[in-house]
Chains A and B, each alone.
Chain A
Amino acid sequence: MGLLVQLSYFLAAVLFILGLKAMSSPVTARKGVMWAGVGMVLAVVATLFHPYIEGVTNLVLIAVAIAIGGAFAWYTAKRVQMTEMPQMVAVYNGLGGGAAAGIAAVSLLKGTHGEDGTSVAAALGGDVATLALLGGVIGSVAFSGSMVAWAKLDERLKRSTLVENHQYWNIGLAALTALLAIWAFNTGFGLPILLFFAAALALGVFITVPIGGADMPVVISLFNALTGLAVGFKGYVLGNLALVIAGTVVGASGMLLTFLMAKAMNRSLANILFSGFGAAPAAGESEAEGEMKEVGPEDAAYMMGYADRVIVVPGYGLAVAQAQHKLWEMIELLQRLDVDVKFAIHPVAGRMPGHMNVLLAEAGVPYDLIYDMEEINEEFEGTDVVLIIGANDVVNPAAREDEGSPIYGMPILNVDYAENVLVVKRGRGAGFSGVENKLFFRDNTRMVFGDAQKVVAEMVQTVKGI
């Protein structure tokens, strides 16, 4: 039986890697996740026959836990809106981190069964105990941190300060966790182990609370990578290569993805983790000049209907207003008028990289009309009309021009090089990051104020009449 179990784990590991590989292209991505799914089912079923598992009670407990956890996740995952995807990924990721921490706790507690005076390290072996503790702290931080990330993105948690001088608290808590780990390592009691997990969970909360909503996707991605790493360590502790390989592959790819995201936002990871964005207003930010010029949806629609080339820049606000279906209806009408329409997506549009693509795909927009920032930035010059819906910071020329601006240096879509810029916006306020946008005051910019869905619906009516 042991051989079949091992064979299943091996196949699962192969399927995971091939699946991730297939997920790197939109054509094969669906197959990829299905392969990985087959691998998962194979590994789970095989584990039911794992020679280590003893006793009917534990087997029943396993079945019940899988049924409850699986049913809860199935129900929530089927119901979640596409706009809420980032926080949902955070939740599932946190649960994985929690599971990794739980495995660590069980392994460490088993190390206290030795004769009196035997330390956990001696009972388990120094390497196993070390990795159990490491995986424990990483899993716990990923768990509590991901839950905070979820609460913040879901706007259930608005505050970004828990205590004064949170940096010192973080350092203090980290030191406390380390000391408790050393204590747990060297003694044979259960108490330090439980205290260690409590401290690690608190550390995750304290690290994540001060981080601003705009930076949260990077943090979720980081926690995702960390959970993978913790799972890899657990694989070593349990002597299970499938966990080692799957966890490490996710850890490495997740770290790379985290750096790619941070780079797209022009923020270093250290900067995100150890400072609050927008907490202190930038000193030298210069005032915007000129005034906003307003135009109605009908006039805006005529501008687009008689243009040769239009580029649409969608942002999260579009999805919040649930206007993406209407927008695509309008684009299809424009295409019938022989207008060349493209979508330009900033790497951090939406709540995380690629989120906007998912939202547009949901509305039925084919992905070959959608262009990345690098692909399309040259094309704004020579474009008749740029339509910006629900995007703000990613088109703010201050990122290019104003050294005093908090977003200075962030790569942006150069929409201001186009002939005309139309901005659909709910009100006159600043964006998600709280930074004033100078684009709105430019001579070639026209503002269309109103709810995105209503505005686009009116545009559709007008375009139909052309």
Chain B
Amino acid sequence: MIEVSGFVALYVFMLAAVAGYEVITRVPVILHTPLMSGSNFIHGIVVVGAMVSLGVAETPLEQLIGFVAVLLGAANAVGGYVVTERMLEMFKRSKKEDG
């Protein structure tokens, strides 16, 4: 595994924050709701962390909390994806400009 510690993590954190900020500055208002939903989907990656947590759980209490965490994380990811997809598939241009 890669060692993520101290200043390396701080640099990664800083660069990711800049990337997040830059990516969104040019977003038109019409996409704000799908975008919020889309970024909501992306933090569904938490399910991966929850899987690792449950994977290393030892006591029954840890297993229970880990189980709930995976369940919630999976719901976050799947629900976030489906609603974002449903919203975005509706956006269309005028027919006359297509043809």
Residues of A whose CB lies within 8 Å of any CB of B are 2, 6, 9, 12, 16-17, 19-21, 23-26, 29-30, 32-34, 36-37, 40, 43-44, 47-48, 50-55, 57-59, 61-62, 64-66, 68-70, 72-74, 76-78, 80, 82, 85-86, 88-89, 91-93, 95-96, 98-103, 105-107, 109-110, 113, 127, 190, 220-221, 224, 227-228, 231-232, 234-236, 238-254, 256-257, 260-261, 264, 345, 347, 350, 352-355, 357-358, 361-362, 364, 366-370, 372
Contacts and interface: CB of A to CB of B under 8 A. Distances in A.
A48 B55 CA distance: 9
Sorted nearest first, the 6 A-B pairs with minimum C-beta distance are A102-B69, A53-B55, A252-B20, A69-B74, A73-B79, A354-B32
A250 B20 CA distance: 6
Contact of B48 (A24, A26, A29, A44): A44
A364 B83 CA distance: 18
Interface of B: 1-6, 9, 12-13, 16-21, 23-59, 61-63, 65-95, 97
A24 B30 CA distance: 10
A92 to B, nearest CB: 4
Contacts of B35: 20, 23-24, 253, 257, 354
Contacts of A260: 32
Contacts of B61: 109, 190
A82 B82 CA distance: 12
A89 B37 contact: yes
Nearest to B69: A102
Contacts of B1: 2, 6, 51-52, 239
A40 B44 contact: yes
B80 A252 contact: no
Given A6-B2, A246-B42, A358 B65 contact: no
B52 A240 contact: yes
A53 B48 CA distance: 12
A89 B36 CA distance: 8
Contacts of A73: 74-79, 82
6 contacts: A51-B1, A92-B80, A103-B50, A110-B58, A254-B20, A366-B93
A93 B49 contact: no
A99 B36 contact: no
B48 A362 contact: no
Contact of B38 (A19, A25, A43, A99): A19
A232 B13 contact: yes
B40 A232 contact: no
Given A95-B73, A362-B90, A227 B12 contact: no
